[in-house]
Amino acid sequence: MLTLHQRVGWLRHLGIACFQQHHRELEPVFRPYVGAEAVVVDVGAHAGQFTKLFAGMAPQGRVYAFEPSVYARSILKPAVAFNRLRNVEIVPTGLSDQPGQATLSTPVKERGGFGFGLASLAGVSGGRVRSDQTVELQTLDGFAQRADLKRLDFLKADVEGWEAHVLRGGAQTLRRFRPALFLELSVEALGRAGETAPPIWDLLGPMGYSALKAPEFRSVAAFDGTSDYLFVAR
């Protein structure tokens, strides 16, 4: 049940999702890894801006958009339908290192709107008012087996500190397919999840991955502060 203010906000979010395309500046960065027939996993699909970008880059491929938030999916689904993205499959669960259930917390802004881009399985910062939802979790390894994936070219994860859980739950799939990885890594968000960034390098390094830090996408040997990172398997 949404208040009038929240309904107005929902309509604004829906309009942006349907009519605007963000992140176009990243297409040349992603193009070497996302071909026309690529299979992409978008973890934390939110309102679908990355999902739409990947769908356009891989018209003969497949994009799996993982989004456990009911509010986010209420925008993502019509945006995908409006843009006629028939190569997108929306998966209404989160990804983690263990299957099960967890609480997804969405911060509520001062005027009552949802900060749904900051929804997190690790809680919200600063004691902010939040809206909680129980969501289903699965692992990437389990999904890859059930979906009978034959390839995985690219994985993007923006899950507000839960990135390490996603990677641990998909370690077998990463070793098998060696997809490029685009991860948002935040010191604050990782800390709320009880995580730090170095273990991500410890996990991916032995698999042959090296990291590039946005926005210049310069090579870094270790975590170099809050940013987006592109991991590429040698």
Grouped pLDDT means (10 residues each) for the chain, 234 residues: 83 95 98 98 97 98 97 96 98 97 88 81 71 94 98 97 97 98 96 95 97 98 97 95
Let me know if 206 is exposed, middle or buried by CB neighbors in 10 A (0-12, 13-18, 19+).
exposed
Q: Which residues pair with residue 136 across a beta bridge?
A: 101
Give CA–CA dist 27/6, Å, rounded. Answer: 32
174: closest CA among 36, 28, 41, 45?
41
Q: At residue 62, what is the residue type?
A: R
Task: Let me know: does 122 contact 192? Beta carbons within 8 Å.
Answer: yes
Nearest Cα neighbor of 14 from 81, 61, 68 is 81
pLDDT at 189: 93
Q: Where exactly are the structural domains of the chain?
A: 4-205
Q: How much is the pTM?
A: 0.94
Tell me the Ramachandran region of residue 44: left when phi exceeds 0, alpha when psi lies from -120 to 50, beta otherwise: left
pLDDT at 127: 52
Please give the pLDDT value at position 5: 82
Angle at Cα 147 formed by Cα 122 and Cα 140, nearest 5°?
25
Contact (Cβ atoms closer than 8 angstroms) between residue 9 and residue 113: yes
Q: What is the Cα–Cα distance from 223 to 212, expressed in whole angstroms?
A: 10
C-alpha to C-alpha distance for 90 and 77, rounded to whole angstroms: 8
The predicted pLDDT at position 55 comes to 98
What lies within 8 Å, CB to CB, of 166 at 6+ separation is: 43, 95, 96, 97, 140, 157, 159
Apex 151 CA angle, 215 and 36, nearest 5: 60
The neighbour count for residue 218, using CB atoms within 10 Å, is: 10
The CATH code of the domain at 4-205 is 3.40.50.150
* Residue labelled with tokens 């899950």: 159
Residue 107, φ and ψ in degrees, nearest 5: -65, 145
**Cα–Cα distance measured from residue 68 to residue 86, given in angstroms and rounded to the nearest whole number:** 20
